[in-house]
Amino acid sequence: MIIQKQNLKVLNNLWRNKDGMTQQNLKKAEDDYKTALGQRTAKLQEIEELKDYVTTEEFEKEIAEDKLGLVDPDEIIFKPVK
């Protein structure tokens, strides 16, 4: 998974540079890591919700109406007079 690979890269970079880092720098790096992880987790949740939505009948109907101009058989469409 992309998120896990990116997280491992961050941790690997922290580990390589741990000897030259001060406690304050380590704390900032940890905070940055937690912030990035939170953002990626939120993005993953958003993607999961979108994935669930696009498999619903509601989404199919929306696309059929908006993109294809289809309507329900009992639906009446009113168009403005030109």
pLDDT, one tens digit per residue, over 42-76 is: 999 999 999 999 999 999 999 998 898 888 888 88
Mean pLDDT value of segment 5-31: 71
User: How far is 44 from 31, CA to CA, in rounded Å?
Assistant: 20
Q: Does 26 fall in a domain?
A: yes
Q: Does 81 fall in a domain?
A: no
| Tally of domains within the chain | 1
Give residue 29's domain range: 2-66
Cα angle, residue 4 at apex, residues 27 and 36 outer, rounded to 5°: 40
If you average pLDDT over every residue of the chain, what do you get?
83
Q: What percent of the chain has pLDDT over 90?
A: 35
pLDDT for 78:
83
Q: Does 76 fall in a domain?
A: no
- Sign of the Cα pseudo-torsion (42, 43, 44, 48, in order): positive
Q: Does 42 fall in a domain?
A: yes
Question: Is residue 4 pLDDT above 70, yes or no?
Answer: no
Per-residue DSSP letter, 18: G
Put residue 79 in one of left, alpha, beta given phi > 0 → left and psi -120 to 50 → alpha. Answer: beta
Nearest to 30 by CA among 17, 11, 44: 11
Question: Is residue 79 pLDDT above 70, yes or no?
Answer: yes
